Structure 1
Amino acid sequence: MKIIVVSDSHGIRSKLDKILEMHRDADLFLHCGDICLDSYEYPQFITVTGNNDYYDYPSEIILNLPHHKLIMFHSHMFGYFNRDKQMVKKAKSKGCDIVCYGHTHIADYRVIDGVHVLNPGSLQMSRDGRDTSYAIMHVDDTSGEIEVEFIFG
Structure 2
Amino acid sequence: MKALIVSDNHGDRDVLRELKSLYQNDVDVMIHCGDSELKETASEMTGFVGVKGNCDWEGNYPKDLVVEWGVHKILVTHGHVYNVKMSLMNLSYKAREVGATIACFGHSHQLGAEIIDGVLFVNPGSILMPRGRTEKTYAFLTSVDEKLVVQFYDRNHKELVELTTEFNLK
Shorter-chain TM-score category?
Answer: over 0.9
What secondary structure is seen at the aligned counterpart in 1 of 2:114?
Answer: strand
Unaligned runs of 5+ in 2: 156-170
User: Once the 2 structures are TM-superposed, how far is the Cα of residue 80 of structure 1 from its aligned partner?
Assistant: 5.4
Q: 1:48 and 1:116 mapped to 2: Cα distance? A: 19
What fraction of aligned residue pairs are identical, expressed as a percent?
A: 32
- For 1:60 and 1:144, locate their aligned partners in 2 and report how far apart those are by CA, in whole Å: 26
Look up the match of 1:5. 5
State the secondary structure of the residue aligned to 2:122.
strand
Q: Which has the higher contact order (CA 8 A, sep 6+)?
A: 1
Change (3 A) 1:44 1:50: same
Match of 2:81, SS state, is coil
Q: Bigger shift: 30-39 or 16-25?
A: 16-25
**Corresponding residue for residue 25 of structure 1:** 26
Give the TM-score normalised by structure 2: 0.84
- May I ask how many residue pairs the two structures share in their alignment? 151
8 Å Cα contact 1:31/1:46 also seen in 2: yes
Deviation at 1:38, TM superposition (A): 1.2
TM-score, normalised relative to structure 1: 0.93
Give me the whole-angstrom Cα distance separating, in 1, the residues matched to 2:68 and 2:85: 29
CA distance in 1, matches of 2:86, 2:137: 23
Q: CA RMSD in A?
A: 1.4
Superposition misfits of 4+ residues, deviation over 6 angstroms = none
Unaligned 5+ segments in structure 1 are none
- Deviation, 1:130, is 2.5
